[in-house]
Amino acid sequence: MGIGDKAKNKADELAGQAKEKAGDALDNDEMRNEGQADQAKANAKQAGEKLKDAGDDLKDRVTDDN
pLDDT of residue 66: 60
The pLDDT profile of the chain, 66 residues, written as one tens digit per residue, is: 578 888 999 999 999 999 999 999 999 999 999 999 999 999 999 999 999 989 988 988 888 766
Q: Can you spell out the DSSP letters for 11-39?
A: HHHHHHHHHHHHHHHHT-HHHHHHHHHHH
pLDDT of residue 4: 87
Number of folded domains that form the chain: 1
Q: Which domain holds residue 38?
A: 3-65
